[in-house]
Structure 1
């Protein structure tokens, strides 16, 4: 039983059957239209964001499995802000604003790929990304929120999300 793995990065809900994916799927004798439709369906909730996708194919039986990864922190934050792309000059040019709740939700979404053990650490990491791409959070510089989080100013808000972070949402 020979398996082939295809790893691609796609725009959520907007995969086309053309190169490079189409020819690769054709070589494996898969129905290109069917696979593309399944990828688009599986990534529809990430419309407009770049998403990693893995297709595992059993070349003997032509059965395949599609696994959708998590979009980048940048993509998730830009979508929450409604921004087109990151700022080329985040210190002087802001591209949007998100709420602290948005940052916490992105932190929880990204948990599997973050090294943070605690929610606070994950939030500070996502705030770093927000700063780098030119976003403000609750109309403040993300760096100032990191300091305020370390001081415990947002403990009450963060505590509301701890169960969700731990995977035991109430």
Structure 2
């Protein structure tokens, strides 16, 4: 018999560096989840993503047990990393902060394909390209 689901929690934590401090502690604590156990399991699974923001979807069951699914890092984080910029432009239509190639966008798209609302790699690359443009990052061939 399947366990009855109490709630689903979505968080973004730095890979390999989650702590019981906010936002993790309060989000899990209010549902009675063992915070230390989650932090240990999350850090073990994400030790190869040191410091990179990693979305996680936690399913909490009635008996206070939990499971979680790791998602790929946000496209904006990956684009900033490739373009070598600290943050996106405040005025993306006027001020460009960096540039990435279409090949780099395809690499990001292939990494995020499972999490995107796209059928193939070309459509996913267009989604990522739109994100880059909205950040003020120029896309070059």
TM over 0.5: yes
Instruction: Give 1 or 2 for the bigger CA radius of gyration.
Output: 1
Count matched residues. Answer: 138
Question: TM-score if structure 2 supplies the norm length?
Answer: 0.75
2-structure distance, mates of 1:93, 1:134: 6
Structure 1 counterpart of 2:9: 6
Q: Which has the higher helix share?
A: 1
Match of 1:127 in 2: 129
Q: 2:75 aligns with which of 73, 88, 104?
A: 73
Name the residue aligned to 2:95. 93
Root mean square deviation of aligned Cα: 2.6
Q: Which runs of 5+ in 2 are unaligned?
A: none
Higher relative contact order (CA 8 A, sep 6+): 2
Q: Which has the higher strand share?
A: 2
- Give matches, 1:12-161, under 5 Å: 12-26=15-29, 28-60=31-63, 62-137=64-139, 140=140
Q: Deviations over 1:98-131 (max 9, x none)?
A: 2332111111122123333332232222222212
Instruction: Encode CA deviations 1:46-81: one digit per residue, 9 max, x unaligned.
Output: 444433212223342x53212111222212211222
Q: Cα gap change, 1:94/1:14 in structure 2, threshold over 3 Å: closer, same or farther?
A: farther
State how far apart, in whole Å, the 2-side matches of 1:28 and 1:121 are: 38
Distance change (3 Å), C-alpha of 1:34 and 1:118: closer
Check conservation: 2:13, 2:53, Cα contact below 8 A: yes
TM-fit CA distance, 1:17: 0.3
Stretches of structure 1 that go unaligned for 5 or more consecutive residues are 146-170
Displacement of 1:86 in angstroms is: 0.9
Of stretches 100-109 and 20-29 in structure 1, the one that deviates more from structure 2 is: 20-29
TM-score (norm 1): 0.65
